[in-house]
Structure formats: C-alpha cells, structure tokens
Structure 1
C-alpha cells in the first residue's frame, strides 16, 4: 500500500504551541518499523494550477510569498514561514498522490492532510489549503479527459470537527457528496451545511457513534452513487483527545475505520485517506490511533490485491 508523507518539512512553531507537529514523524517511524506492507513515498508539492482548482489566485500567492493578511494567519493558527508554505503544498500533494494511487490500486494514504477548515480564499483551524477538495477536483479533471461523465466523489469526514471549508467548497456541486460526523458543540462554532451532517453530543461513546456512522453511510448510499471516496480518519474522537470531547475507545475507533473500509469494499470503491486531526493529552495516544487506522488499512489493501481480476 502506498503511503505519502511530507514530514521532512517541519513547521517552526513557538514554544508551547498546541499543535502537535512531531506526531507526523512519530507516525512515519512506527509505520516503517511495524507495517512492512506499506511503501512510504515522499510527496511532491501541489502546483499553483492544482491549488487553483479550489483556491483563489490571490490567496495562493499570499501564502507563497508571505504577504497573507495577519488576521488570516491568526485564524489558521500558525506563524507564516517559507517552511509553512512548502509544507502546506506538500500536504496537498500527498493527498493528490494518494488519490491517484488509490484509483489504480484500490487504497492509498497521506500521513498528514485532512485540512478541511480551509476555504477558497482563507484558511483556519490549522488548515492552510484544503487537500481533500483539491484532490477531488483534480481527480475529476483527470477522469474527464478519459470519460464524458464526471467522477462522483464522496468525502467521508470523521474528524471530530466539522469540515466547514469542504462543505462550503462543494455546497453547489452535485458531483461531490460531503458527509461530516462531528461534535455538535465543538469547533467550528458556526458550521456550514454539508450534504449530510451528523451532530454528536459531548461524551458520545462507541456504540452510539458506530450506530450513527452506520446510518450515515446508509443514507449516503441511498442519496448518492460514488465512484471514489476520500476518507478523513481523524484521531480526535478518541477519549484521550484534548480537543475532541467525544469518548471513543481504541476499539471503537478501529471499528469505525474498518466499517468505512468495508463499506467502500462492498461497493468496489477505491479510497484514499488522510489522518486529519489528533490532539491527545498524550501524543503517543494520537499516534496509536493512527497506527491502528493503518493496520486496518493494510488488511483492506490486501483484499484489493487479492481480488479476482
């Protein structure tokens, strides 16, 4: 299974910053040590033209040269630096590469990504560019060169925070279905309308969450006929997350991942996934949630490899 990374581009953050930048290197190290079925590949940066499928030229340029409005950077939550701009491009590039690989092989992943709070003209919530949105639009453009019908894309967002930027980007686009299962009272506090939003109360545990997910996937299937899936496998619904406010256990999160993979497999849908958020009180807990996601993904990739040709 191909997995793309950009963790060699480390965002310089001030002491005490709450974003756990080191989780990406920790995850990559554990995947390399524990899952030999994974092929780790360095991501190339997304080009201006690829980013412009979603983002405005002025915003792309401002992020690139540092002329971005300080208020926009405060909303993103990172200080601007050349490394920040490069990492943002590489993170999008990793989801693009994972999407292409998934369409060929059935399943692929980005170690980072899931930057679903980014809008066309601004970022927010530690998100600079919207990787899933750019990848979806680019896969549709590449598909259109071969076929006349548009590629139907489902974005299944299981980060604990609503994918407000993604919802706004695809609000009037019937070829992309946005599903967000998230904390009702959590960030962002002014939410956008996804095609299907499932608001969960604080303290939601395994059984209630998995029941809500099952119903949401059933409704998605009734309302939309996807050909490709982008999955945001956030670690932040875990009970040990500082920002999550839900109460999913290790087993509950692994069951969540396996349910999404099974749902895609049953329909013959290629799937690319990104890790999205994770802010564990112990960073080791966030990394463990993500390792568990990749372990489940390896099993799923093996099914694709062994399927009848």
Structure 2
C-alpha cells in the first residue's frame, strides 16, 4: 500500500527573487519533479494549508508576526532574514511551515513522513534570520505534543548551520530536546546552547563525520528517550556545497540519513523529516544530494 507520507505544494518554489540571489528557491520543485520522474506516484503527496496567524501567535511575538506579515518590519530586520518582502514571500512561508506541521501529523500516522521543504531553524520568537521567517521545527514539535502519548520530542538537526533559533525557543521547554551537529566556524557567528551540541571542524570527511553523528544519536536517544523525532536533513554538509566548508560525499549523506532513520525505526519512533539547507548553485546537482533522504526513507531505491 502506498502511503501519503510526502508533503509538497508548488508554492514552495514560487517566489521571485533578485537575480543571483543566494537562495536556491527552485530546488523544491526540482525534488518533486525528480521523485515523479523516478516513479513516485502523485497520490503519495499531501498538500498543506498555510499555518494560521492565530496559531503562530500562540508561540511567537505578536508584534513581530504582525509587522512581518503586513510588510512593516524594519529594513535591518528584513536584511537579517535575507529576503525582500513580498506578499508571496509571506504566503509561501506560511504554507511551508504548514507543510512541516502536516508532516509531523503524517509521521505519527505512518511512522515516517517527509516534507519537500522545511528546516527554518534560525528564526526565533521575535525575529527571523538566515532565510528563516518562522521556525517550523519548533511548531511541528508543538503539534506532535498535542497528541496523546507524545510527551517528549527530539529535534535532530544535522544541517551544517547550528539550529540556533530552535535551541533558543526550546531552551526552557523540557518536552522539546534539541540536538545540533554543525560546522563550528560557520553561520551563525553567535551560537545558542542546544540540549546537545556537536561542533565540527572545517573539512571533516565521511568517516569522522558519521562517527560523530552515531555518537550524538546514541547519546541523545539513550539520555532523553523521546516519543517522536523531527529530523532536519540539511545537505549543506556536502563537499560541493558553497556554504558548508565540510567534505561529506553524496554517499556519506545517504549513510547519515540511513543512520538516523534506522535508529528511529529500531525504537519505533515516529520521525518527521524536512530537507533543510543546501546551497549548490547547480540545482540538478543539489536535488541529487537531497534525494538521498528519500532513498534512506525507502521512497526511492538506493541505486
């Protein structure tokens, strides 16, 4: 039986950005097209609705939410986010966050679910940063905690950049555990304190990297015994990524994703996955690296 455990909306890639803008907005549609071309049926996908402003305000600063949505956020605050303001930016962002929340629900239903965007881990309660307007990982955790029998969520963030916004949001929340394995000398310059941080040196390769991930996973799962997992599978760790500064091969990315999903499966932990960061300018090459998550999850064959 085919599962409806993939989340996608065309609006994920429908955002006009200035020429040579650093964000690879086309990659989301590229991942969807690549999955369809490889035989994934369209009925495997569920379509998210935008998250409501009222729900956002349950967890985020009202003034920030209102100013950002209305286009009244000041220049410096928008510059920190890294996108020019537009109505489409807001609709797209609310839908992407809604997609991660829907993915969290689908993970509880199916055991594993994947959003073809997500990982907006730099946003805090009253600010956006690093291409992140609203922190979908934190909201997805809150969504999972609303379900009976789900009392503790582990957010595994393996994007090359520390999940600083998530760490800050969850710092006083004992039900949400944050784990970040990230480049020590990479953005953000000022790191926050996650429940568990594993900083990596520049240029680390597959073997050493996978050993760190294995250690981090084992320690986190043993120490915190979560009821569900949210996994940020950022591929900006890749050797060809423009912003990563690490030396992880495509095979290394696949092995990492298999490691995470296998650890969750062995413990029967529902896991909601987002694709996270990835900044190669060659969109086809970038999509190929992101597809490793879908191979690890069994959506595609590991050819």
TM-score after normalising by structure 2: 0.94
Q: Which moved more, 1:167-176 or 1:57-66?
A: 57-66
How far off is 1:137 after superposition?
1.1
CA-based RMSD: 1.6
d(CA) in 2 for partners of 1:298, 1:65? 41
1:1-309 → structure 2 map (5 Å cutoff):
1=3, 2-8=5-11, 10-36=14-40, 39-140=44-145, 142-143=146-147, 146=148, 151-298=151-298
How far off is 1:6 after superposition?
2.9
How far off is 1:281 after superposition?
4.1
d(CA) in 2 for partners of 1:215, 1:28? 33
Q: Give the unaligned 5+ runs of structure 2.
A: none
How far off is 1:4 after superposition?
1.2
How far off is 1:191 after superposition?
0.2
CA contact (8 A) 1:240 1:285 kept: no
CA contact (8 A) 1:77 1:124 kept: yes
Q: Give the unaligned 5+ runs of structure 1.
A: 301-309
Q: Deviation digits for residues 15-34 of structure 1, max 9, x if unmatched?
A: 11111111111111111121
C-alpha distance 79-53 of structure 1, shift in aligned 2 (>3 A):
same
CA contact (8 A) 2:111 2:269 kept: yes
d(CA) in 2 for partners of 1:33, 1:43? 22
How far off is 1:50 after superposition?
2.3
d(CA) in 2 for partners of 1:298, 1:53? 36
